[in-house]
A and B are shown apart, each in its own frame.
Chain A
């Protein structure tokens, strides 16, 4: 029986990158995928939602066209079948691309549910050679020296009455709706809830977001949460915060969300987007042996589980539920499986929300920085897009760039952008933070004019007292983090 150097369970961002990385190091690699390569990100998450949000952006442009002197019929309506079809075409192209990448790197791909099997039940060879791991898939056993558990995550659920109903959808199903619901209730105002809410609202749906915490996007800087909430309310999205759904009543095709404060919201469909939990099905026979932590597989800094030779990069370990973090983790895990000792640094992972306007952040929020370092140890710099030429020309004068800078070294601690092309702009901030470039240096670097990116440079200049494009009175007072 063939022995693989690496067996990867799961073909999502962590898994397929791990497989390619291992293969590039000369490993023999087998990858198991239970449905379609690409994982949540490509099939049910990041990419599909981006096609929907592009639609929302186009609608936004249609609405704005009059301002630019474009005389046209600004009426529009949604053909959801086409929207789904477009989404599926994009997804297909990307997932096929992943397949081609794996093939070109010589990775063997096996389709089917796979999980770890106990070595005792495995083949003779595995018993003889200690350390060999066995993976079962479709009734067949595969033997490998290292196993990478890239099982990813699944939509989280809450045990409330009425939750298990065909009108209660998760992000897995809602993106395949071929008919737009008239009213959509969203439980959970995180990234998924806000993005899908924004898209469906633009499409013409009445959207209500119910968030348990006191603000939507609770992991982002509070100013971003507040700004997005204002935008949502202006756009007709109803946002209820500090509000918990107690039960869901279903009657004659309608759903009634009953909140703990007895608020009742009647909708046609419900999106359950309270977060994601680890998909542990790939643990198989090792379910009891592999150490877990808060429901996720526990891994060390080298992404190894409590069992040597078994690694768990990606959503499954709960370190960061982002595709780009999974890429990084997958690569590190594969290299470590091949004998390297790469500590996976997830310090400068940007987070992006593709609403209109977009939101993005990297590093510490102002609140986190204040707690960790003390308000007098941080400087805060800002620049509003209302003072940015490109933004105004684009009709995107809403929003700001905010930078949090350490007082002693002038290092960037966090960058938070609302508006502009936040999700693209954050790459510069994250890169410069990773390269440990200082805010006072960034304030002096040439940025093309007119671009949204100038706002980042200006915010850095504001933090370090070098701003030239802000009137004196608007400069951050004392630039202190209070």
Chain B
């Protein structure tokens, strides 16, 4: 199969416009026969076919501006299927989808709404399906990639960057506005200098202004210092309200930024259902007290809950299952993440194979991981690879809450504070200690019954704690 690409017609040509195709999909083309008309910043010209065969697909729409050497279509033998070109698809998606259209459906709609684009795909229906599938995969499997599709490169076309810089940003999955906020010197991506002056970038950096928000007034829309300062001025004016005054303002960054982003993604992308169940904690508390008699390192309630949850998770494969692309993938281990609050955010360290560990070992690991998280020395591999998570809010007397799933896991189990309640047991009013198990689950993976089964099992273990040790 032969790639039809944007030729580099001249040393300084960085990008070109595909004016129109001179061949239809399915037509035969000969080597060196004009196949399309292109335009550089200097001339309009016909570009020859790089080989002989049948034009199998056009993956770039007429009128698109693409970097030189980008693949525009494929030539091959009749019946041959063009390859799945994800980077090209991303490129295409970037230029075609509007902000917010991040689902496969809207991508399909966007494609079909554009006759010319569709034409390119219709002629190779199976190829198109692969292409769309590829896009769906990308969107749903890696949030990171999907996010790049949304923001990297020329997503917001009004901010100029050299084609080379955009291309590089797209390839590396770099968000151009992140680059802009950084110190502009010694950067690998020289093209970034085009979008804002060095001074504008530094003023933005010092004053924590997002350059994406700034309209450039300079030549070719370049952002100048005055533009950044105008934005700062407008922002401070717009946030002025007679009834509230700004006490402090800080850039969303570090752990807080990551947590916020992940939570937002989970909250907005996963069909989450909340389900609660009461659990009698009396025996567990009693059990813990006995366990801790004479122990130097006390076992915490959380340690026991990790163990109980791990046992249940190991027993119930559907809980260890996650959506990956168009597949449900079940992982073998009961790797339990537990939420640890740190000063400016949240970590979820993971205890691997917690079902197989003794409570004492879980306790030791949990203590160490929590310490590392608080000290900021935790390593990425210590908070990845989880298959299910818990979030214990008991020490804060929380009565009920709605935890957000730690993606891509299928659910998260929240545990509330313990309350003394009066209960009828065998006709007798007794005082029991009660907590609520608040579970959020991904409805794509399991239904209400599946979620209830997990809680039911955890509840059993809590109410018959001796089983936790088995």
Contact = CB atoms under 8 A, between A and B. Distances in A.
B197 A436 contact: yes
Contact of B197 (A408, A435, A440): A435
A444 B185 contact: yes
A409 interface: yes
Interface string B213-229: 00000000000110000
A409 B203 CA distance: 6
B459 interface: no
A316 B22 CA distance: 60
A409 B199 contact: yes
Contact of A440 (B185, B203, B206, B225): B185
Contacts of B224: 436
A408 B185 contact: no
A411 B206 contact: no
B203 to A, nearest CB: 6
A269 B225 CA distance: 50
Interface of B is mostly: helix
Contacts of A441: 184-185, 198
Q: Which of B199, B202, B224: most chain A Cβ within 10 A?
A: B199
A410 B184 CA distance: 12
A437 B199 contact: yes
A435 B224 CA distance: 8
B75 interface: no
B185 A411 contact: no
A436 B199 contact: yes
A438 B198 contact: yes
A410 B205 CA distance: 13
Interface of A is mostly: loop
A373 B224 CA distance: 20
B200 interface: yes
A200 to B, nearest CB: 43
A438 B206 contact: no
A438 B198 CA distance: 6
A444 B198 CA distance: 14
A409 B202 contact: yes
Q: How large is the interface on B (under 10, 10 to 19, 20 to 34, 35 or more residues)?
A: 10 to 19
Nearest to B198: A438
B198 A408 contact: no
B297 to A, nearest CB: 51
Interface string B178-200: 00000011000000000001111
Nearest to A437: B198
A232 B185 CA distance: 43
A342 B231 CA distance: 20
Interface string A159-190: 00000000000000000000000000000000
Contacts of B199: 409, 411, 436-438
Interface in A314-373: none
B225 A436 contact: yes
Q: Which of B202, B203, B206, B224: most chain A Cβ within 10 A?
A: B202
Contacts of B225: 411, 436
A410 to B, nearest CB: 7
A440 B197 CA distance: 14
B198 A436 contact: yes
Contact of B206 (A408, A436, A437): A408
Contacts of A435: 197
A440 B200 CA distance: 14
A441 B197 CA distance: 12
Nearest to B186: A444
Contacts of A408: 206
Contacts of B202: 409-411, 438
Nearest to A412: B199
Nearest to B200: A436
A36 to B, nearest CB: 35
A441 B187 CA distance: 12
B285 to A, nearest CB: 57
A192 to B, nearest CB: 34
Nearest to A345: B226
Interface in A418-475: 435-438, 440-441, 444
A410 B206 CA distance: 11
B319 to A, nearest CB: 54
A409 B224 CA distance: 13
A348 to B, nearest CB: 12
Contacts of B184: 438, 441
A125 B184 CA distance: 59
Interface in B220-279: 224-225
Contacts of A440: 185
A440 B185 CA distance: 9
Q: Which of B197, B200, B225: most chain A Cβ within 10 A?
A: B197
B220 to A, nearest CB: 13
Contacts of B206: 408-409
A436 B198 CA distance: 6
Given A411-B199, A437-B199, 15 more contacts: A409-B202, A409-B206, A410-B202, A411-B202, A435-B197, A436-B197, A436-B199, A436-B224, A436-B225, A437-B198, A438-B184, A440-B185, A441-B184, A441-B198, A444-B185
Interface of B: 184-185, 197-200, 202-203, 206, 224-225
18 contacts: A408-B206, A409-B199, A409-B206, A410-B202, A411-B199, A411-B225, A435-B197, A436-B198, A436-B199, A436-B200, A437-B197, A437-B198, A438-B184, A438-B185, A441-B184, A441-B185, A441-B198, A444-B185
Q: A-B pairs with the 10 shortest C-beta distances? A: A436-B197, A436-B199, A409-B202, A438-B198, A411-B199, A437-B198, A436-B225, A441-B198, A409-B203, A436-B198
